[in-house]
Chains A and B, each alone.
Chain A
């Protein structure tokens, strides 16, 4: 079962999204800010991280960078309600207004790519 770490400071969104991901067959773990996400990341193994861009304390880009310091191969999807963001630590960027069902497709694609890379 693939594991997804979903990070968003909106608790309701975080929980609803994790429930949807679980129903889709993923092991989904919520984190309500970047610091909590890094703590959970150190304790458990994940196949992909999905994070909100704007969060108090540390934004999604910095979180992606710190996660790649620990695991450079891990795909990170950034979700934002503002302008699209790109960068070396971001595999995909998704507008919040397109969250569902597009997030599911993005996660599936990122995980398939990661599998192919691992196999080659």
Chain B
């Protein structure tokens, strides 16, 4: 006598063979469309060590492109949690660049500016009869949201930074936005956020995360690198901190919570290469002309990494260190005409720890001279 399981397997095989004979074929629901694949590749080339964030954004974008995102609510509500310097805001900037060719193509609301309930008027404008009605332009308007829309892409990006600092009044507003995708301004006009991808960032649990990264209390040596179990602990810590701070109503309205990994040394090296490449791009991008280039010795790269990163603050200071030690110097060299088109500047470390800038004669010039 056949068991229930055997019957079920047999029925399933019968169905499969019937489908095959009718011309049916198996589908792969994990495949992305071409536009989404390009978008994903763009993000992967510029974002280091944050695969989960890329996956979450890509998924939302794919749904939006095929118009399968839920109607009457934002395209996606994403909460980014993680240690400082891990790139939460940077991801939004890169998404903006991928979609609109400009890293500033999103509306940023700094929730720390709305810690008092009366400050909400700056965001939505004062209602009629209140002081300031009609005088101050609200920050969150349909025009501001749609500013970067193109003929092909009617998608807006909204970043709510440091969401945990929002006042209770802003929270009420947010719950409505995340649920219905509608915001009513002080002037009674409505803002439609149903074509908007909403990113929220938070440093919640930062103190506990810092403790984990620094090695905690006692006589434990501070780790110089970050291991996988540390990422798991950070994920747990951040998620628990979010659940403690945020109401269930808020958590239920989120499509995805992404905890950003701490960047490992190999990630930081990649970030450094990306940042140096960006400086080179800035130099050579002018009106299609070829300008000078530069190269950093391995010692200089190690030095920049030492100065610009640490396990606690991630890559936060790296850009600033590159600006201060490399870009300032290059700007001064350009201003004083010490470099010209076709030059290559070799940047090395002097024995006293300072940087040396040396002009290398271009290979083409040597060949021509010889």
Contacts and interface: CB of A to CB of B under 8 A. Distances in A.
Contact of B335 (A11, A99, A101): A99
Contacts of A92: none
Main secondary structure on B side of the interface with A:
helix
A35 interface: no
B319 A17 contact: no
Contacts of A17: 331
B336 A97 contact: yes
A101 to B, nearest CB: 6
A15 B285 contact: yes
A20 B332 contact: no
Nearest to A98: B332
Interface in B318-353: 319-320, 323-324, 327-332, 334-337
A47 B348 CA distance: 38
Contacts of A86: none
Contact of A81 (B328, B329, B337): B337
Contacts of B292: 12
Considering residues A13, A19, A23, which has the most beta carbons from chain B within 10 angstroms of its beta carbon? Answer: A13
A43 to B, nearest CB: 16
A16 B337 contact: no
B286 A99 contact: no
A96 interface: yes
B323 A20 contact: yes
A115 to B, nearest CB: 20
Interface in A1-28: 10-13, 15-17, 19-20, 23
Nearest to A23: B323
Given A20-B331, A100-B331, A15 B286 contact: yes
Interface centre among B286, B319, B330, B334 (most CB of A within 10 A): B334
Contacts of B328: 20, 100-101
Contacts of B336: 81, 96-97
Interface string A81-119: 100000000000000110111000000000000000000
Given A81-B336, A97-B336, A16 B331 contact: yes
A100 B285 contact: no
Given A96-B336, A97-B335, A100-B331, A12 B320 contact: no
Contacts of A15: 282-283, 285-286
Contacts of B207: none
A16 B334 contact: yes
B287 interface: yes
A13 B335 contact: yes
B149 interface: no
Nearest to B324: A101
Contacts of B331: 13, 16-17, 20, 99-100
Nearest to A10: B334
B295 interface: no
B291 interface: yes
B226 to A, nearest CB: 26
Contacts of B329: 100
A16 B319 contact: no
A20 B335 contact: no
A96 B336 CA distance: 6
A81 B335 contact: yes
Given A11-B287, A100-B328, A101-B328, A19 B282 contact: yes
Q: Which 4 A-B pairs give the minimum distances between C-beta atoms? A: A11-B286, A100-B328, A96-B335, A13-B334
Given A10-B335, A20-B327, 19 more contacts: A11-B289, A12-B282, A12-B292, A13-B331, A13-B334, A15-B283, A15-B286, A20-B323, A20-B328, A20-B331, A23-B319, A23-B320, A23-B323, A81-B336, A96-B332, A97-B332, A99-B332, A100-B328, A100-B329
Interface of A: 10-13, 15-17, 19-20, 23, 79, 81, 96-97, 99-101
